[in-house]
């Protein structure tokens, strides 16, 4: 063999297994019974068919279908411009990097915020920023932890002035929904007016802002008006395969495009991704209206949109016991810890099976003499997000 043929032989690759069609059918079933997240939602054949019609340009040199999506998102959010991003994390981190110019500075947010907890310390790494992560003060009996940051929380904790010991707050980053809860818009407006009156910036991590619009009937533009920059996600609740969008002023997006390239996120033929996102906005957004179930155990964070947090300790049951029962079903359910996420591809049967397991376990524990303990004293901090990585996923 010539050396070229040898090299070609080494390089060639077929990723399709003999059983991939059946495997994917089984995977779709599993997705309908998985409560760990809505990131697992998958493109449908119809979405892919629409995507193949997209334009085929290189987006580093401005791609028409991608541009059309960005223009639509800019209009939808009421901003001058938008930029397609590979992920929500990239979108948030590039937004912070674009807002933050000359250290020292800090970012103020809720302690549960994705930016604070689940972006691998990105604010420190990419922007050299300190993070002031606050526990909201408005806790109550249902959610001891507090529901959302208030104007007072922000006033009490924003860092301003010229004390050289401190890193001044440059950006206040809010999240809506946060753990599936809806941030009251009047509080957001009050915070925004205060923050802007001091010349600071407002960023919205709106990965699941779609749910707020669906649930409250408020326009996306109205929800975005108090913010200088907004990140929206297509690949979670809406079921597109890849992508988020960052929106802001023309000058902000121009700079963010530069940082996106610098961070390695300048992508080429993104038309198919933009088209999948557009399909998701058109056909999957209306599916978000689907009803949500409440569960007869302690609800640590009420279901306002697609997420509910619960604590089965109140019925004497552990998350592992529930997960074990779930994986023993003829058609297993895949569960994380305290967080249940319902998505557009969740089956009703899966919800009913989950509730049956809880009822059954509660019954067994009661029969074995379990007595419900008194509730924790109010004001006690309780971290409601018990993360449990399911055994079936890597």
Ligand X SMILES: *Cc1c(COP(=O)(O)O)cnc(C)c1O
Give whichever of 77 and 244 is closer to ligand X, judged by the CB atom. Answer: 244
Whose tokens are 């949109």? That residue is 305
Least Cβ distance, residue 387 to ligand X (angstroms): 13
Closest to ligand X by CB, 178 vs 357, is 178
Shortest Å, Cβ 210 to ligand X: 12
For ligand X, which is the closer residue by CB, 93 or 192?
A: 93
Q: Which is nearer to ligand X, 175 or 304 (CB)?
A: 175
- CB of residue 39 vs ligand X: minimum separation in angstroms? 6
Residue ranges binding ligand X (CB under 6 A): 87-89, 92, 114, 175, 205, 207, 233, 235, 244
Residue nearest ligand X by beta-carbon distance? 88
Minimal distance, residue 88 CB to ligand X, in Å: 2
- In total, the chain counts a number of residues equal to 394
C-beta closer to ligand X: residue 207 or 297: 207
Task: Measure the CA–CA gap between 214 and 281, rounded to whole angstroms.
Answer: 12
Rounded to a whole number of angstroms, the minimum distance from the CB of residue 321 to ligand X is: 27
- Distances from the Cα of 17 to the Cα of 22, 276, 285, angstroms: 10, 25, 33
Respond yes or no on whether the N-terminal peptide bond of residue 83 is cis (omega within 30° of 0): no
- Closer Cβ to ligand X, 325 or 343, answer by number: 343
CB atoms within 10 A of CB 184: 14
Question: At closest approach, how far in Å is the CB of 213 from ligand X?
Answer: 15
Output phi, psi for 48, to 5 deg.
Answer: -65, -35
Min separation Cβ 205 and ligand X, Å: 5
The nearer residue to ligand X, 89 or 127, going by C-beta atoms, is 89
Q: To the nearest whole angstrom, how small is the minimum distance from the Cβ of residue 1 to ligand X?
A: 44
| Ramachandran class of 391: left when φ > 0, alpha when ψ lies in -120 to 50, beta otherwise | alpha
Whole-angstrom CA distances from 360 to 298, 331, 387, 394 are 16, 17, 23, 29
How do beta strands 106-110 and 298-301 pair?
A: unpaired
130 vs 341, beta carbon nearer ligand X: 341
Phi then psi dihedrals of residue 244, to 5 deg: -135, 170
Burial annotation 360-388 (CB, 10 A radius, 16+ → b, else e)? ebbeebeeeeeeeeeeeeeeeeeebebeb
Q: Which of 66, 87, 74, 72 is closest to 270 using CA atoms?
A: 66
């Amino acid at each position: 063999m010539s050396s070229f043929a040898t090299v070609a032989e080494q390089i060639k690759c077929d990723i399709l297994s003999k059983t991939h069609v059946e495997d994917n059918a089984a995977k779709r079933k599993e997705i309908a019974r998985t409560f760990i997240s809505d990131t697992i939602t998958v493109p449908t054949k119809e979405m892919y068919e629409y995507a193949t019609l997209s334009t085929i340009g290189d987006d580093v040199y401005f791609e028409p279908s991608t541009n059309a999506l960005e223009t639509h998102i800019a209009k939808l959010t009421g901003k001058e411009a938008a930029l397609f991003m590979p992920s929500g994390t990239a979108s948030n981190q590039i937004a912070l990097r674009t807002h933050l110019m000359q250290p020292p500075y800090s970012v103020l947010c809720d302690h549960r915020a994705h930016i604070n907890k689940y972006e691998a310390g990105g604010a420190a790494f990419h922007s050299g920023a300190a993070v002031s992560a606050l526990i909201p003060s408005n806790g109550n009996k249902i959610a001891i932890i507090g529901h959302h940051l208030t104007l007072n929380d922000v006033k009490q904790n924003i860092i301003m002035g010229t004390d050289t010991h401190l890193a001044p707050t440059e950006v206040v980053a809010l999240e809506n929904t946060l753990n599936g809860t809806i941030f009251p818009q009047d509080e957001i407006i009050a915070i925004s007016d205060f923050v802007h009156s001091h010349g600071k910036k407002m960023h919205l991590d709106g990965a699941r802002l779609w749910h707020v619009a669906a649930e409250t009937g408020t326009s996306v533009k109205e929800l975005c008006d108090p913010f200088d920059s907004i990140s929206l996600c297509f690949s979670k609740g809406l079921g597109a395969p890849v992508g988020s969008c960052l929106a802001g002023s023309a000058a902000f997006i121009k700079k963010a495009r530069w940082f996106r390239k610098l961070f390695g996120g300048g992508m080429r033929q993104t038309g198919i991704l933009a088209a999948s996102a557009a399909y998701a906005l058109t056909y999957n957004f209306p599916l978000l209206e689907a009803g949500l179930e409440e569960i007869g155990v302690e609800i640590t964070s009420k279901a306002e949109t697609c997420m509910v947090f619960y604590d089965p300790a109140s019925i004497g049951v552990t998350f592992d016991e529930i997960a074990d029962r779930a994986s023993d079903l003829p058609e297993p359910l895949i569960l994380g810890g305290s967080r249940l996420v319902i998505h557009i591809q969740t089956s009703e049967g899966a919800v009913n099976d989950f509730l049956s397991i809880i009822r059954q376990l509660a019954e067994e524990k009661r029969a074995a003499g379990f007595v419900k303990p008194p509730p924790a004293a109010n004001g006690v901090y309780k971290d409601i997000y018990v993360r449990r990585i399911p055994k079936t996923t890597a």
